[in-house]
Amino acid sequence: MYSTPQLLVRIGRYLQSGIQPLLMAALLAVGSSLVASALPVVIAVTIDGRLRGSISNAQLCMIVTALAVSGWALNWGRQWLTAGLVGQTVRRLQIDATDAALAKDAAFFDRHSPGQVLSRVTGDTEGFASVLTLTLNFVSQLFLVILLGGLVFYIQIALGFLLVAIVPLLVSTTLLFRRVARTAATSTRRVMARITANVHESMAGIGVTKGFGQEDSTYREFDQLNRLSYQVYLRQGLIYSMILPVLTLLAGLGTVATLYVGGRLSQLGSLSTGEWYFAISALGALWVPLTQAASFWSLFQQGLAASERVFALIDDRDSSIRSGSEPVAALDGSIELRSVTFSYSATSKVFENLDLYIPAKQVVAIVGETGAGKSTLAKLISRSHEYDGGELLVDGRDVRSMMLADYRRQVGMVPQFPYLFNGTVAENIAYARPGAPRSDVMDVIRAIGADLWERIVPFDLDDRIDNSRRGVSVGQRQMIAVARVFLQQPSILVLDEPTASLDPATERAIQQALGRLMAGRTVLIIAHRLATVRRADRVLVLNEGAIVGDGTYQDLLKQSTHFAELHRNYYSHEAKMQPAMQAEMTRPMQI
């Protein structure tokens, strides 16, 4: 939590580098306010005939035109400088916010969805921009209000008080409208969010909808929401359409009052016709800045709240991952956990005093029921999450003494659903080593086996992958991910059973590619299916965060009741599935 002065100081710091344009904008604001006030003064003086004889009509017209044009130019210059200043400041803030988001560890993204982070980097930085724009505009409008108001008081104190009496009416009406309009806008936003979610879900699940013939019910659901949206939009439109006319009416009433009081004062001889004109013009020129100034505070508070969220993202530099300065070249890959404890939160302890030794180059499969801690163990070893207690040694060295980026380069991961970036196939492979020459990418394909590669990936290396489209299958993604990790040449490899969801032919091809990748490395296979465990040198059985079995597949079948139970459950399930699958495959297709 930041106090308002802290936030203002922080915003001020972001503005520091733009101090010159800021001062220029302030000067132009003062200049344009002076010109805006000078225009009615010149006309008033002319009406009173004080310039008669010393200035011709043509000269007067030229002065008025020059004032109007210079007022426009000064205002334009101020707006241009403000836009440039705000744009640059927001750009710096967005860079800082993105930098901070990229520096966060995985635990942060467990707590915050990508959508939340995105809204801080984009939406909330816009909120920050609105604070700057609002403040700069407010200062210039305030100056105009003080200048014109002061002149009215100077000319005729009674008219000054009349103006002061109108201000609360105008301000309170503006605030009332703001509140009503905000409630209406919130309802509209909520309905729009429901419509967006509804359309997104309908389109994402269109295959299922069509499969079950549910187009009508999907349409009815949307239609209901759409009617609701029509009603809230209509209400919002009604409110918005009333704001300007009502405020204009109030300003008109103010003008009538000024006209009346000014007329009486003129009759009494205490106000000249020119001064009377000036008071009426001043009111006309003041009501827009006054209504805008009235809504300044609440908009300013919203902008401050948005800025606070961005600063919180930037300042939260506490990385839970501890690291040192020791560089890490290639590792042998032995891993040792000594009394390691870890929990995601106070209520979910995963490991308590976990001991484990994996010799270098061993292929270890980790099995266990869902929630046993298989993925968490991989997260600790890959240093995406930090353990709370105990020690983690790699090649006998404390991982916390090593440089984090160096260490992570030594750990390769192939997940079940690899993420590919927009770009060519070659660029996606070279992501592991940006700037890697084309020949290295070709070497990787050769190491995997060109025939194997071509069987799964029908694209050219220069073909573009559009990640938002679904043109790349899971098997193709995995083959590209295997190539990417091959290029990385890690010492330790973590496979989150990549082939679990593939058809047998693709699975065999990816397994072959993985076999080539695994050679000469320490490998951890998070195994969801026992069928993939057989190729491991060693199997670890996890249950509720504890190792309850450790040995070869055959040994465990004899020694570990837990593993035997897993084995029985797995194969009886497979046996039940086989006939069902065969029946499904032999069932004649209904057209």
| Nearer to ligand ATP among residue 184 and residue 321 (C-beta) | 321
Which of 374, 408, 409, 538 touches ligand ATP by CB under 6 A? 374
392 counts as binding ligand ATP under rule CB under 6 A? no
Q: Which is nearer to ligand ATP, 350 or 429 (CB)?
A: 350
Which residue in 279, 283, 356, 372 binds ligand ATP (CB under 6 A)?
A: 372
By CB under 6 A, what part of segment 90-149 binds ligand ATP? 110
417, 341 contact by CB (below 8 A): no
- For ligand ATP, which residue of 3, 54, 348, 468 counts as binding (CB under 6 A)? 348
* Residue number, 344 or 459, with CB nearest to ligand ATP: 344
Q: Which is nearer to ligand ATP, 325 or 370 (CB)?
A: 370
Which residue stretches of 104-214 are H helix? 106-111, 114-119, 125-155, 157-204, 206-211
Q: Considering the complex, state which of residue 277 and residue 344 has its C-beta at the smaller distance from ligand ATP.
A: 344
515-534 residues in contact with ligand ATP (CB under 6 A) are 528
CA–CA gap between residue 80 and residue 57 (Å, rounded): 34
Which one of residues 133, 135, 375, 501 is an interface residue with ligand ATP (CB under 6 A)?
A: 375
Per CB under 6 A, the list member of 3, 57, 267, 370 interacting with ligand ATP is 370
Strand partners, 394: 335, 397
Question: Candidates 23-31, 269-277, 374-382, 403-411 — which segment interacts with ligand ATP by CB under 6 A?
Answer: 374-382
Asked if 77 interacts with ligand ATP (CB under 6 A), we say no
Task: Please list, in sequence order, all residues whose beta carbon lies within 8 angstroms of the beta carbon of residue 19, skipping any fewer than 6 positions away.
Answer: none
Quick check: 75 and 32 in contact, CB under 8 A? yes
Alpha helices in 295-349 (DSSP H): 296-315
Which stretch in 161-169, 334-342, 370-378, 388-396 sits in contact with ligand ATP by CB under 6 A? 370-378
Distance CA 75, CA 57 (A): 27
Distance CA 337, CA 454 (A): 40
The answer to whether 288 touches 173, Cβ cutoff 8 Å, is no
To the nearest 10°, the Cα dihedral for 247, 285, 135, 164? Answer: -70
C-alpha distances in Å from residue 43, one per residue of 54, 148, 447: 15, 14, 87
Q: How far is the CB of 348 from ligand ATP (least distance, A)?
A: 5
Q: Which is nearer to ligand ATP, 99 or 355 (CB)?
A: 355
Residue with smaller CB distance to ligand ATP, 133 or 343: 343
The owner of tokens 């290029």 is 487
Length of the chain as a residue count: 591
Element (H, E) at 524: strand 522-526
Q: Tell me the site size for ligand ATP, rule CB under 6 A.
A: 13
Q: With binding defined as CB under 6 A, does residue 344 bind ligand ATP? A: yes
Stretch of residues binding ligand ATP (CB under 6 A), selected from 68-76, 275-283, 364-372, 394-402: 364-372
Distance CA 462, CA 459 (A): 8
Residue 387 is encoded by which pair of tokens?
């353990």
Question: Per CB under 6 A, does 350 bind ligand ATP?
Answer: yes
Applying CB under 6 A, the residues found at the interface with ligand ATP are: 110, 344, 348, 350, 368, 370-376, 528
